[in-house]
Structure formats: C-alpha cells, structure tokens
C-alpha cells in the first residue's frame, strides 16, 4: 500500500503548519477521506526529512482543527464529521440550513479568542446601552460598508441576529391583523414570526428578478397594506437579484403607496449588485441583516438600520425583547474587523460559494434549477412525476436532508413542485458532491449506487 505524504511545495510558514495545511486541503478536496490512515510519525519524518517532533506538532495542529484523531497503538486517522454522514456512510448529509463554516479560520481564531478586546471585562459583563455600545455600532457600520450598505452608526440598532432584527422590525411597524406584502416565496422564519404576531402575508408574484412590479402595485391597491418585506439581493429561496431598474421601480411604488420596506439582506454580502434598496429610500426602509451568513451565526449579532424616528421604535423593541445585545458579540466583531479576519472570511466565503455553485451546476446539469453563481442556495424544480413531499422523503431515505417548498410559500396558489438546497452546509466539498450525486441519481430514477465502506 502506498503511503500518503503531504505535498509541501509552494506552501509557506513553519513546516509543521505546512503539513497540517496539506492535510486540511486534501480533506477539503475529498482525496483524504474519513477513516484514512496517516503514516506513523517516524515514517513521515523520515520521508520528509524532518524531526519526529515536527510531525507530532503537525498532527497536534491537524487534530486541533478537527481533521484527525489518534489512537495509541492504532494510529492516526482522518476524522468523519459529526454533522454529516459524508464519507462514512453514516448519518444524513444536511442541505437544509444555510450556513458555511470557515473551519480553518475557526481553528486559527481559537487560541486568540477574546485576546483583543475593545471594552473592559467590566463593561463586557454589564449592560450596555440598548442600541449597542458606540464602538460596536461603529464596527457594524464599517462591516455594512464592506458588504455594500454604508450606514451611519446613529441609525444602527444592534440585534441578536437577523431573526431578532425581523422581529423588532415587525414589532415597530405592525399590529395583529395587519397585512404584510412579501415575495410569494419567502424566508420561512419570517412566516413563523408572522404567525406569532398574528399578521397576514400577501404573496407577490415573482419573476427572475424577484417580486414583479405590476403584482406589487395591484397588491398595494387591493390590500392597503403599509408594510413590504423583501430580499432584493439573493432572495431566499430563489436567489433572485433585483436589478437597479427593478429596485428603482419598487422604491417608487414604496413612495407612492407610503410603504415601510423591511429589507432583509443577510445574503447581500455575496451579491453582485453592490447596492441595496435602502440606499434609494433610506427613510422608508428598515434594513435588517446579521453576520450569521457572512461570518458566524453563533455570535448572534445583527442589526436594523432605520430613520431617526424609526430608530427610537426599534430601540424600544430591542429593549422589550432583550434589554441589550450581549456586548461580547460586538467586541468580537470589532476585533475581527481590526485584524483582517472579517475581510478574510468574506473573501473565503465568496470563493467557496462560487466553487460549490460550479459543482452543483455540473452535477445537476439538465435539471431546472433557479439560482445565481454567487448564491449559497439553489431552488430545484422537480420533474412532474414527483410531488415535493415524496421527493423530500425519498432524499431522506437516501441520506440527504432538503427543504420542501411548503416551508417558503405564501398565499393560496399552493407551493410549487420544488426544493431548496443549501450548498454550504456540508463541511467539505466532497460531502456536497456526495449529496448532489444522490439527488441526481434520484432525479434520474436510478437506484442508489453502492457506497464504499471504509
């Protein structure tokens, strides 16, 4: 059996890190699969002409990144992922949650987490003003500018993620029984909020650019609704992106019918359209976003941006629901903005999403999919012989979890025969490839290919 050896050519940094980087890369590529055995320390040291201590350090680093595990007497092995059964033939591969975790950055961040602080520990462990500490709102403003939506810190109110941002936006604008206009396929979390707050949704017909202007105007006339919720940049679930022309038309209608627009921009950082709807009608918009998709969801940091009058109402809603956002989250953002981590992760995500989109395009070639080269998800139309629920169940039995269209549809038309696939959830491209291959097999009506046992 040939021994796997890392290729260190062209890598920079200390040798131990170069070895760990090589392992990392091969795991991402899928050439080193879960269960694969790495060479014993001494063998690798001899072949690379380095000391055993260097190899031990490299393996320790790879273990810290979650790539390998060692068993005394049995050797060192590539780890499987708990989150998905990829490569191990184990649990299901989940394509139902929009998340893209930069594992390498996480590993690099771990040892220096909280080393760089803007506020003192006393401040971090106390309450801060409800809209957020000034320094944290400033960092958020810089982050928004980097992702296409410059905003003054005075207009920013921090929230615990975008779900909370949407909640406070609704609290500030609607009362039970009101109607909210939205794309006919919309974010399921917004539907959940509407149900809690007893508001009704009216779905607006869509085309390739998102909501249609004629349908929006008709709904404004017939419902007298005053609130519009939409996602102009990389809509969830369809990935539609509004052109500048469409944004201007929607903005004009918002002025004409005196709508308040809740603009959800969580995927805007990936969008080729660099500007938001809120840039056209800042005083009519509550701009809602978070760093969940662009950086990490676990720090639960987001914001709403509004007119000065709206900021007061939004602040009251944040106070009611949480008093203030944990300042530790804002401090982390400050540190990552300052030391370049945020910019690096942004770049990595843009690159990784594009690569995964390329893979999806290749593997699902020939099927009707709505997406965008820079979108983290894909809306896949199913052939007529499938119902959505039957296909989702079939995929579950093949070890892949997908979202059925019912989660997103609004209105009486009935959900289309389609599913949403989140391309970022599998931790490796190899995992995604496996999931997409299984979907293609099911669409083609093929039985499951025999899976290798490792």
Ligand X SMILES: Cc1ncc(COP(=O)(O)O)c(C=O)c1O
Task: State the residues that interact with ligand X by CB under 6 A.
Answer: 98, 161-163, 187, 189, 231, 236, 264, 266, 290, 292, 297, 302
Choice between 55 and 277, CB closer to ligand X: 277
Choice between 303 and 395, CB closer to ligand X: 303
For the CB of residue 275, give the shortest distance to ligand X in the complex, in Å. Answer: 18
- Say how many residues make up the chain: 454
For the CB of residue 186, give the shortest distance to ligand X in the complex, in Å. Answer: 8
Choice between 52 and 328, CB closer to ligand X: 328
3-state secondary structure of 269: helix
For the CB of residue 243, give the shortest distance to ligand X in the complex, in Å. Answer: 20
Whole-angstrom distance, CA of residue 364 vs CA of residue 383: 13
User: For residues 388 and 374, is the Cβ–Cβ distance under 8 A?
Assistant: no
Whole-angstrom distance, CA of residue 337 vs CA of residue 331: 10
For the CB of residue 292, give the shortest distance to ligand X in the complex, in Å. Answer: 3
- Structure tokens of 384? 């007529």
Choice between 225 and 301, CB closer to ligand X: 301
For the CB of residue 121, give the shortest distance to ligand X in the complex, in Å. Answer: 26
* 11 burial type by CB count under 10 A (0-12 exposed, 13-18 middle, 19+ buried): middle
Cis geometry, peptide bond prior to residue 237 (ω within 30 degrees of 0): yes
Whole-angstrom distance, CA of residue 349 vs CA of residue 439: 24
Strand partners for 379: 370, 420
Choice between 57 and 136, CB closer to ligand X: 136
For the CB of residue 259, give the shortest distance to ligand X in the complex, in Å. Answer: 19
Alpha carbon 184 to its chain centroid, in Å, reads: 21
Radius of gyration for the chain, computed over Cα atoms and rounded to the nearest angstrom: 24
For the CB of residue 170, give the shortest distance to ligand X in the complex, in Å. Answer: 13
Choice between 57 and 233, CB closer to ligand X: 233
* 77 burial type by CB count under 10 A (0-12 exposed, 13-18 middle, 19+ buried): middle
Choice between 65 and 420, CB closer to ligand X: 420
């Amino acid at each position: 059996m040939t021994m796997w050896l890392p290729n260190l050519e062209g890598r920079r940094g200390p040798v131990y890190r170069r070895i760990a980087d090589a392992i990392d890369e091969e795991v991402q590529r899928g050439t080193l699969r879960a269960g694969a055995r790495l060479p014993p320390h001494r063998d690798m040291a001899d072949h690379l002409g380095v000391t055993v201590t260097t190899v031990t350090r490299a393996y320790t680093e790879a273990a810290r990144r979650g790539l390998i595990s060692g068993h005394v007497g049995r050797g060192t092995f590539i780890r499987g992922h708990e989150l998905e059964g990829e490569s191990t033939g184990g649990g299901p591969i989940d394509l139902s949650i929009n998340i893209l975790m930069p594992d390498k950055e996480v590993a690099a961040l771990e040892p220096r987490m909280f080393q760089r602080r803007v506020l003192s520990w006393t401040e971090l462990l106390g309450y801060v003003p409800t809209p957020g500490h000034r320094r944290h709102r400033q960092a958020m403003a810089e982050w928004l500018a980097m992702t296409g939506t410059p905003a003054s810190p005075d207009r920013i109110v921090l929230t615990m993620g975008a779900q909370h941002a949407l909640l406070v936006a609704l609290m500030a604008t609607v009362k039970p029984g009101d109607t909210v206009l939205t794309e006919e396929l919309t974010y399921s979390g917004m539907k959940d909020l509407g149900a809690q707050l007893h508001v009704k949704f009216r779905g607006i017909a869509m085309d390739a650019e998102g909501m249609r202007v004629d349908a929006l105007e008709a709904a404004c006339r017939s419902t007298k609704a005053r609130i519009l919720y939409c996602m102009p940049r990389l809509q969830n679930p369809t990935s539609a992106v509004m052109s500048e022309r469409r944004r201007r038309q929607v903005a004009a209608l918002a002025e004409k019918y005196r709508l308040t627009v809740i603009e959800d921009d969580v995927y805007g950082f990936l969008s080729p359209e660099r500007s938001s709807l809120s840039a056209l009608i800042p005083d009519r918009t509550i701009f809602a976003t978070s760093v969940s998709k662009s950086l990490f969801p676990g720090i639960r940091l987001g914001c709403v941006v509004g007119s000065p009058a709206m900021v007061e109402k939004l602040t009251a809603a944040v106070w009611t629901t949480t008093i203030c956002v944990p300042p530790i989250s804002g401090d982390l953002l400050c540190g990552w903005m300052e030391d370049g981590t945020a910019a690096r992760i942004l770049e990595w995500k843009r690159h990784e999403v594009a690569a995964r989109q390329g893979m999806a395009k290749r593997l699902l070639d020939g099927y009707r999919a709505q997406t965008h080269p820079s979108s983290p998800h894909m809306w896949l139309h199913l052939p007529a012989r499938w119902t959505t629920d039957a296909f989702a169940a079939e995929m579950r039995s093949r070890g892949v979890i997908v979202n059925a269209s019912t989660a997103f549809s609004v209105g009486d038309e009935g959900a289309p025969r389609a599913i949403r696939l989140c391309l970022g959830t599998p931790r490796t491209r190899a995992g995604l490839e496996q999931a997409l291959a299984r979907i293609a097999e099911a669409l083609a009506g093929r039985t499951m290919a025999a899976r290798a046992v490792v």
